[in-house]
């Protein structure tokens, strides 16, 4: 990248006497005006110089040097659009003028037009004779594409960079990243390992370990991946590493279990135990999920008898809440609504029961009523943050299930607390990918 900076600095910091050499090389109209313009440019009287360049251009509109020098003046006056216009014209007149493309890449960088930067550097690389300069252009392009997360055009730039400098570890890093994006994990592993062997600066090693660990994780080598990823667990990679650990899958499983999304919870708990068979909390949650799948009819019948004979209102309410949960797990959703209502008559502030009632309503097709209730719960101000996150997340799930993805994303983005925020982030990621 230093080579690019050097070329740009050189381009816009020409020695004061350079105009004499250029003038001597020039044949055609506008020479006098051009020489005068260079004199004023050397004196930093850029506005006057620009006017004189215009006169030179009017006499010889096909001389690319006039446009290059005028573009420098506009640049120094911070008139970026005018500078771009001049240099674009220069490249039209001389298609292999590398310095103009480099300058344009700088100018488009100021305008945050990354695609234009990439295009200019790519063309410069085609005409650049100095291999080290060409390498710097290619690496800069790869860095920009990498930062955008796009692989379009990546192989071309990667191939050229590797042909110039096969011992450059950064080339191998970009190659590992590219193959991970393309789901070519075996190649990504080879490239990351090659890069690590070539790497001299150990402070740069975490990103190589991350690409290596990611590839190992994707092919199911979870223990190897964990050992490698621990070496990448720094800085911006920390969150990415966390999301590949069994604890992350467990947190997702717990979030879905809490809102009674048992199938999704089961999927994540199985992934937790696949990554770490000895993960105790995962095993416990799998046991709880197994209990939810048992037929509870016999227990339900006993509870119904018990609740009829209960004289203590708190005991009666507790029995109704237990009954509602068992009926829900037995997929007797209408009965679960009735038992929830019976409990709420006695204890109207039982938010957990109101939540179960809303989910039961949703499952019997009363989606509008269910979402209204869930929205009311999510907007309560006097409840713990954990409950608020639970209710808000569940509202988003309901909206997603009925196809109202914009509303779903809105609610998911408002989940800020606890493990639910991770599940919400995953939901948003999936919806954005549709």
DSSP state of 331: T
User: According to the model, what pLDDT value does residue 139 have?
Assistant: 97
- For residues 66-99, one letter each, b for 16 or more C-beta atoms within 10 angstroms of the residue's C-beta and e for the rest, the string is bbbbbbbbbbeeebeebbbebbbbbbebbeebbb
Banded pLDDT at 200 (limits 50, 70, 90): confident
Domains parsed from the chain with CATH numbers: 2-161 (1.25.40.10), 246-292 (no CATH), 297-365 (1.25.40)
Q: pLDDT for 221-253, tens place per residue?
A: 999 999 999 999 999 999 999 999 999 999 999
Q: pLDDT for 79-119, tens place per residue?
A: 999 999 999 999 999 999 999 999 999 999 999 999 999 99
By the 8 A CB rule, do 77 and 44 touch?
A: no
What average pLDDT does range 295-307 have in this prediction?
94
Q: pLDDT for 114-156, tens place per residue?
A: 999 999 999 999 999 999 999 999 999 999 999 999 999 999 9
Q: CA 393 to CA 405: how far, in whole Å?
A: 13
Q: pLDDT for 58-75, tens place per residue?
A: 999 999 999 999 999 999
User: According to the model, what pLDDT value does residue 27 have?
Assistant: 44
> What would the two tokens of residue 164 be?
């110039």
Of residues 131 and 7, more confidently modeled = 131
What average pLDDT does range 351-378 have in this prediction?
97
> What would the two tokens of residue 198 be?
């070539």
Q: What angle do CA 215, 268, 231 make, to 5 degrees?
A: 35
Is a pLDDT exceeding 50 seen at residue 7?
A: no
CB atoms closer than 10 angstroms to residue 140: 20
Q: CA 226 to CA 221: how far, in whole Å?
A: 9
Q: CA 270 to CA 274: how far, in whole Å?
A: 6
Residue-level length of the chain:
434
Banded pLDDT at 310 (limits 50, 70, 90): confident
User: According to the model, what pLDDT value does residue 14 have?
Assistant: 39
> What would the two tokens of residue 9 be?
């600095």
Nearest residue to 180 via CA among 139, 225, 121:
225
Banded pLDDT at 19 (limits 50, 70, 90): very low
What average pLDDT does range 23-45 have in this prediction?
81
Q: CA 251 to CA 434: how far, in whole Å?
A: 24
| Mean pLDDT, the chain, whole residue set | 93
Residues 6 or more apart whose CB falls under 8 angstroms from that of 44 comprise 76
Q: What angle do CA 372, 406, 329 make, to 5 degrees?
A: 50
Banded pLDDT at 309 (limits 50, 70, 90): confident
How far out from the chain centre does Cα 228 lie?
22
Is a pLDDT exceeding 70 seen at residue 346?
A: yes
User: According to the model, what pLDDT value does residue 213 have?
Assistant: 98
User: According to the model, what pLDDT value does residue 28 have?
Assistant: 55
Which of 48-57, 200-209, 241-250 has the least mean pLDDT?
200-209
Banded pLDDT at 432 (limits 50, 70, 90): very high
Record the pTM: 0.82
Is a pLDDT exceeding 80 seen at residue 5?
A: no
CB atoms closer than 10 angstroms to residue 131: 12
User: According to the model, what pLDDT value does residue 391 have?
Assistant: 98
What average pLDDT does range 406-410 have in this prediction?
97
């Amino acid at each position: 990248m230093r080579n690019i900076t050097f070329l740009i600095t050189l381009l816009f910091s020409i020695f004061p006497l350079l105009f004499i050499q250029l003038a001597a090389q020039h044949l055609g109209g506008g020479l006098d005006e051009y020489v005068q313009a260079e004199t004023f440019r050397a004196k930093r009287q850029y506005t006057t110089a620009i006017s004189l360049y215009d006169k030179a251009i009017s006499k010889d509109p096909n001389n690319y040097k006039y446009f290059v020098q005028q573009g420098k003046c506009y640049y120094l006056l911070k008139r970026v659009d005018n500078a771009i216009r001049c240099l674009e014209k220069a490249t039209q007149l001389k298609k292999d003028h590398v310095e103009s493309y480099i300058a344009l890449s700088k100018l488009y960088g100021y305008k945050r037009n990354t695609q234009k930067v990439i295009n200019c550097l790519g063309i410069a690389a085609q005409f650049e004779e100095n291999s080290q300069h060409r390498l710097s252009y290619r690496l800069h392009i790869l860095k920009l594409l990498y930062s955008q997360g796009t692989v379009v055009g990546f192989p071309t730039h990667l191939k050229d960079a590797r042909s110039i400098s096969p011992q450059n570890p950064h080339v191998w890093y970009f190659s590992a990243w590219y193959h991970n994006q393309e789901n070519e994990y075996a190649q990504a592993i080879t490239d990351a390992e090659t890069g690590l062997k070539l790497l001299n600066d150990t402070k740069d090693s975490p990103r190589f370990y991350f690409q290596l660990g990611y590839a190992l994780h994707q092919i199911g080598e979870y223990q190897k991946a964990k050992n490698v990823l621990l070496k990448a667990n720094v800085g911006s990679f920390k969150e990415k590493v966390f999301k590949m650990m069994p604890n992350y899958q467990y947190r997702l499983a717990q979030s879905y279990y809490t809102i009674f999304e048992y199938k999704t919870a089961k999927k994540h708990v199985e992934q937790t135990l696949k990554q770490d068979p000895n993960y105790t909390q995962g095993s416990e949650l799998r046991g709880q999920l197994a209990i939810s799948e048992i037929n509870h009819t016999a227990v339900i019948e006993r509870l119904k008898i018990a609740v009829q004979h209960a004289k203590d209102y708190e005991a009666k309410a507790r029995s109704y809440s237990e009954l509602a949960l068992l009926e829900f797990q037995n997929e007797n959703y209408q009965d679960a609504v009735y038992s929830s209502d019976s409990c709420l008559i006695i204890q109207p502030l039982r938010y957990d029961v109101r939540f179960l009632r809303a989910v039961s309503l949703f499952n019997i097709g009363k989606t509008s009523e269910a979402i209204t209730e869930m929205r009311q719960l999510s907007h309560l101000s006097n409840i713990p943050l954990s409950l608020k996150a639970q209710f808000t997340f569940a509202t988003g799930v309901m909206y997603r299930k009925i196809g109202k993805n914009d509303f779903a994303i809105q609610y998911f983005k408002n989940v800020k607390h606890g493990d639910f925020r991770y599940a919400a982030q995953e939901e948003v990621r999936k919806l954005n990918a549709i």
